[in-house]
Amino acid sequence: MELDIFFEPVTYKIESEPGQTDFNRIGDIITVNEKGKSFPSLENIKLALIGVDEDRMGLKNRGCAAAPGKVRPYLYNLYSHWTTLKIADLGNIKRGHTVEDTYFAVKEVTAYLIKNGIVPIIIGGSQDLTYANYLAYENIGRIINIATVDPLFDLGHDENELNSRSYLSRIILHQPNFLFNYTNLGYQSYFVNQDAIQLMKNLFFDFYRLGDVRKYPEEVEPMVRDADILSFDMSAIRYSDAPGNYYAGPNGFRGEEACRICYYAGMSDKLSSIGFYEFNPGLDPRGQTAHLLAQMIWYFIDGFVNRQGDFPEKDRNSFIRFRVFIDDLNEELIFLKSKKTGRWWIEVPIKNKANERYGRQHQIPCSYNDYRTALRQELPDRWWKMQQKLM
């Protein structure tokens, strides 16, 4: 595939801060699609930055299409701590004649990169681009999990509409459907009606209130580790830390909490694409949100460099098995603990042959607290939800 037909080159300049050295910044190590130069070679590239100039479906937040150009200067000016990592900035995907044209370009580019072992880092644009990212996996033929960091569920009110606040409904209803699980991190109850919560429960999806995620930060890592896609809505961050969004409010994640989530996403061996959406430079005094988003990407890259190749189904010898028998259910739970990282998984047996296509999903990332729950003869919520999905 000739990827260059989808992209516009970018112009960039690294401006040194007083007292700082002029080398070893991301802008020094990244391969950039520059005007007048050939399109970057993807040989040995592991991460690819993609800007998307699209916000026509961004409800009340028009202007977020300009985000990529505002984030790059801050990102390029951050120091690289990775001596061998190869990163490319492919430029901005051209805005299509219609929104559907842009979705097609995002889908094709993302699918190509994932097939070639390159993780796309998408800077939108509005969050409906998550739908285009999802469609890329249809080309690959992979059943996936999606995680979003978002103050609400983006279900919309009409199953036929597609915009930044209804894209999840389109994903759920898309046929053929290859979404196995959806996880929301940080929803705020006063933005979500009871019908939406009941729908999430009926589908056995995972959703966690902002207060719970902040109270138990160690539980965030397994939530993110199970995702193939992470979609980050910048309105999930409180206004005082990230004002560049029409929906930014007084409550939300702190900047350092957002960076931690991105680091966990980078560490996940399963996650194969990430997108950052809804940053509106026109609402961003002094570039505060642009600077934070650049740091979030930096933390994602740092997590990516620290991936350990934790795949229980591929390397059983690198895991310690723990068996816990739940007397009331007459059921044995099997936990796996990585010898390399100390991270935990729990196995859910696939008893129905019709569900064998979900084999990639039956080992669920969990935490030590889930193991302790089982020792108390209580069934971990993660295990129960997965069992319901596989019945």
Kindly state whether residues 133 and 170 are assigned to the same domain: yes
Q: According to the model, what pLDDT value does residue 5 have?
A: 96
- Residue 316 confidence (pLDDT): 76
Q: Which residues pair with 320 in a beta bridge?
A: 337
Residue 14 has pLDDT above 70, yes or no: no
Does residue 322 sit in the same domain as residue 297?
A: no
Question: Does residue 344 belong to any structural domain of this protein?
Answer: yes
Mean pLDDT, range 93-109, rounded to an integer? 97
Domain identity same for 294 and 351:
no
Q: Tell whether 165 is covered by a domain.
A: yes
How far apart (Å, rounded) are the C-alpha atoms in residues 240 and 251? 9
Q: Is residue 372 part of a domain?
A: yes
Whether residue 167 contacts residue 127, with contact meaning beta carbons closer than 8 Å, is answered with yes
Residue 139 banded pLDDT, cuts 50, 70, 90: confident
> How far is 108 from 90, CA to CA, in rounded Å?
14
Of 20-29, 90-99, 248-257, 261-270, the one with minimum mean pLDDT is 20-29
Kindly tell me if the per-residue pLDDT of 367 is higher than 70.
Answer: yes
Average pLDDT over residues 354-363: 68
Q: Are residues 154 and 271 in the same domain?
A: yes
- Burial class from Cβ neighbours inside 10 Å (0-12, 13-18, 19+) for residue 140 reads middle
Residue 266 sits in the same domain as residue 345: no
For residues 36 and 113, membership in a common domain is answered with yes
Task: Provide the pLDDT for residue 311.
Answer: 83
Domain of 283, in residue numbers:
3-305
User: Of 13-17, 51-55, 184-188, 306-310, where does mean pLDDT reach its minimum?
Assistant: 13-17
| 268 & 384 share domain | no
Three-class SS of the chain: CCHHHHEECECCCCCCCCCCCCCCEHHHHCEECECCCCCCCCCCCCEEEEEECCCCCCCCCCCHHHHHHHHHHHHHCCECCCCCCCEEEEEEECCCCCHHHHHHHHHHHHHHHHHCCCEEEEECCCCCHHHHHHHHHHHHCCCEEEEEECCCCCCCCCCCCCCCCCHHHHHHHCCCCCEEEEEEEEECHHHCCHHHHHHHHHCCCEEEEHHHHHHCHHHHHHHHHCCCEEEEEHHHECCCCCCCCCCCCCCCECHHHHHHHHHHHHHCCCCCEEEEECCCHHHCHHHHHHHHHHHHHHHHHHHHHCCCCCCCCCCHHHEEEEEEEECCCCEEEEEEEECCCCCEEEECCCCCHHHHHHHHHCEEEECHHHHHHHHCCCCCHHHHHHHHHHC
In a domain? residue 157: yes
Residue 358: the pLDDT is 67
In this structure, are 327 and 228 located in the same domain? no
- Domain count along the chain: 2
pLDDT for the residue 158: 75
In this prediction, residues 373-387 reach a mean pLDDT of: 93
pLDDT of residue 12: 72
Determine, yes or no, domain membership for 257.
Answer: yes
Give domain status of residue 323, yes or no. Answer: yes
Q: Return the pLDDT at 354.
A: 55
Choose the final residue of a domain: 284, 305, 326. Answer: 305
Q: What is the pLDDT of residue 157?
A: 81
Q: Would you say residue 311 lies in a domain?
A: no
Domain end among 280, 305, 330: 305
- The arithmetic mean of pLDDT across residues 20-32, rounded, is 85
Residue 313: its pLDDT value, please? Answer: 75
Most trustworthy range by pLDDT among 7-21, 194-208, 306-320 = 194-208
Residue ending a domain, among 248, 275, 305, is 305
Structure tokens at 65: 């299409």
The reported pLDDT for the residue numbered 101 is 98
Q: Which of 69-73, 107-111, 159-163, 219-223 has the lowest mean pLDDT?
A: 159-163
pLDDT tens-digit series, residues 285-341: 899 999 999 999 999 999 999 999 988 877 778 999 999 999 988 889 999 999 999
Residues 213, 329: one domain?
no
Pairwise CA distance, residues 216 & 239, whole Å: 22
| Average confidence score pLDDT of the chain | 93
pTM, rounded to two decimals:
0.95
17 pLDDT higher than 70 = no
299/195 same-domain check? yes
Q: Is 310 within the bounds of a domain?
A: no
User: Is the bond into 186 cis (omega within 30 degrees of 0)?
Assistant: no
pLDDT recorded at residue 104: 97
Shared domain for 205 and 321, answered yes or no, is no
CA 286 to chain CA centroid, nearest Å: 27
* Residue 15, pLDDT above cutoff 70: no
Q: What's the whole-number mean pLDDT along residues 155-178?
A: 91
Q: Which tops the pLDDT comparison, 157 or 170? A: 170
Domain of residue 178, CATH code: 3.40.800.10
Q: Do 196 and 102 sit in the same domain of this protein?
A: yes
Nearest to 74 by CA among 379, 284, 341, 330: 284
- Percentage of the residues of the chain whose pLDDT score is greater than 90: 82
- The gap between the terminal CA atoms of the chain, to the nearest Å, is 41
* pLDDT at position 261 over 60: yes
Give me the pLDDT at residue 376, please: 96
